[in-house]
Amino acid sequence: MTTTGPGCGGSGGWRLRADVVVIGTGVAGLAAALAAHRRGSRVILLSKAAETATFYAQGGIAVVLPDSVRGADDSVDAHVADTLVAGAGLCDAEAVRSIVADGARAVAELVGAGAHFDESSPGRWALTREGGHTRRRIIHSGGDATGAEVQRALDHAAASLDIRRNHVALDLLIDDGAVAGVSVLSEDGPGTVYAPSVILATGGAGHLYRATTNPEGSTGDGVALAIWAGVPVSDVEFVQFHPTMLYTGSASGRRPLITEALRGEGASLVDRHGEPVMSGVHPMGDLAPRDVVAAAIEARMSASGDACVYLDARRVADVARRFPTVTAACRAAGIDPVRQPIPVVPGAHYSCGGVVTDVHGRTAIDGLYAAGEVARTGMHGANRLASNSLLEGLVVGGRAGVAAAEHAELAGPPRVVVAEPSLRPVLARPSLQHAMSGYASVVRDDAGLGRLAAELETAQPRMLSSRSVFEDAALTAVAGVVGAAARARTETRGCHHRSDHPDTDPAQAVSIVCAPVASGCR
Ligand code: SIN
């Protein structure tokens, strides 16, 4: 029997049993839990934080709708092609096709759960565009409040499920090569949930950086749990910086997103002098893929010495009504987007890589699944296409729930694994965020990544005695693999830009896998 340490969980504390444990309550976690529940599984959801990244998603869901309701000349082939172009040679084309082709069905299921989307005329959904999409194929809700509507509908559908709030999953219990449960920290102290199937749906790791569009719980928990359990993670160097996060001086933590759909409706990026940022950079101009736009903004800021650029949305028709979330965030910061350009900077937004899975969320460990931002299905490659994340969370979340339920039925109850407490290296968050923001941000180089590695070497082992220590340990583990993979990838590709290797190297068109992490990333 092998176990990973349970942090402060130990063998004592409270105990629960389930068929399927889902860690995380955003789109992927709730889709998974509902699917497993429908299959008759006893499901326990563990929720660490009140807010999910799903809630904050603005732009929408990229989906190819059936002919009868589609408003544009679109096809699965076209959506797959756009996804592959954005992914810069590292997508798994079969995974992309499988997920894209299942999108309309998954969205119909979401509508069945009560979600509403904006209409352009009665019975016809309004479609918008974002960077990298050659068609208008993004459905949205409440203008720019799509994530809030998805979360509302799924929360409502899952209201009768067993959701344990303020429960932090500290470690995976592994018994003889299969998952056996999770050690957990709750307000009642340490404990264990035993289950033959565990689904990681913990979201991203935006708080690796000083400023991010992610909610405060996005601390890379699922990737860290996988790393500690020896489960392969891949493509982690591809951290996507959203080109337009609201700039509000040196404020850190979660900053408001300024949705790309504004550019889909005519807004444009300019510098302090009103000069366009994107002219001559890419044939798609302001709607180029996200990595291209973020790098162009960085280049303009570094050439001018300015701390931000501006998104001029003044010509967007009825901007305050169409984009109420953005308008409210701007006005709260003293900016009126109807009259003024919006100050923006690129901000850490999305982890394109993560725990290696197939398109049913299966990982290398029997009974362990991952879905949503925490996972690496091969959908995003080196750079995620806008609004493909809610799509992937819905589709793969649902499939992972089915697979986990089926596995639980076959596997039967797990053995009670007694695990010893363990120590994890922890770098204090301000130091970690300073090093990641300085050396592993939009543009990297070997010297900086070496400094990041040296900083991470100073991490001190600590017991996981609180949520904040656990989160700092998780961030430290994830920073380690992001830094190692970024250093190993000596080229520029997708959202990984190396100033010392500015070209794409065809010989490096392969994913870097860290497995297990102690043996390095290659
Ligand atoms: C946005 O609305 O610009 C973000 C959408 C996404 O991250 O896919």
How do residues 86-109 score in pLDDT, each as one tens digit? 999 999 999 999 999 999 999 999
From 239, 257, 293, 373, mutation site for ligand 1 pocket: most ligand atoms within 8 A of C-beta: 257
pLDDT band for position 8 (cuts 50, 70, 90): very low
The amino acid at 397: G
Question: Whole-number mean pLDDT of the chain?
Answer: 94
**Per-residue confidence at 59, pLDDT binned at 50, 70, 90?**
confident
State the amino acid at position 495 in one-letter form: C
- pLDDT interval class at 10 (50, 70, 90): very low
Ranking 4-8, 242-246, 369-373, 383-387 by mean pLDDT, the lowest is 4-8
* C-alpha 244 – ligand 1 centre gap (Å): 10
Nearest to 29 by CA among 222, 226, 315, 266: 222
CA-CA distance, 170 to 224, in Å (whole number)? 10
Mean pLDDT score, 443-462: 97
Confidence grade of residue 519 (pLDDT, cut at 50, 70, 90):
low
Closest residue by CA, ligand 1 atom 2: 59
CA of 130 from ligand 1 middle (Å) equals: 8
Nearest CA to ligand 1 atom 8: 387
What's the gap in Å between 150 CA and the centre of ligand 1? 14
Atom of ligand 1 nearest to the CA of 58: 2
Pocket test residue of 130, 325, 344 for ligand 1, highest count of atoms within 8 A of CB: 130
Distance 326 CA to ligand 1 centre (A): 12
Ligand 1 centre to CA of 91 (Å) is: 19
Reported confidence tier of residue 66, pLDDT bands at 50, 70, 90: confident
Distance 139 CA to ligand 1 centre (A): 12
DSSP character string of 205-266: -GGGSSEESS-TT-S-HHHHHHHHTT--EE-TT-EEEEEEEEPBTB--EE--B--THHHHTT
Q: Is residue 427 predicted with pLDDT exceeding 90?
A: yes
Entry pTM: 0.95
Question: 242-347: which CATH architecture?
Answer: Alpha-Beta Complex (3.90)
Which of 138, 242, 246, 394 gets mutated to test ligand 1 (max ligand atoms within 8 A of its CB)?
242
Instruction: Determine if residue 92 is left, alpha or beta; phi over 0 gives left, psi from -120 to 50 gives alpha, anything else beta.
Output: beta
> How far out from the chain centre does Cα 262 lie?
21
- Distance between CA atoms of 384 and 377, rounded to whole angstroms? 12
Q: Give me the helices (H) in 254-323, please.
A: 261-264, 290-304, 319-322
Phi, psi for residue 493 in degrees, rounded to 5: -155, 135
pLDDT value, residue 522: 85
Rounded to the nearest angstrom, the distance between the alpha carbon of 317 and the centre of ligand 1 is 20
pLDDT level of residue 69 (50, 70, 90 thresholds): low
Show which residues are catalytic. Answer: 290
- Ligand 1 atom with the smallest distance to the CA of 62 is 8
As for ligand 1, residues whose beta carbon falls within 6 Å of it are 57-59, 130, 257, 259-261, 350, 386-387, 389
Instruction: Among 387, 390, 392, name the best residue to mutate to test ligand 1's pocket (greatest count of ligand atoms within 8 A of Cβ).
Output: 387
Ligand 1 atom with the smallest distance to the CA of 131 is 3
- Residue 386 CB contacts under 8 Å (≥ 6 apart), including other chains: 59, 62, 130, 131, 132, 133, 138, 260, 290
The Å distance, Cα 188 to ligand 1 centre, comes to: 37
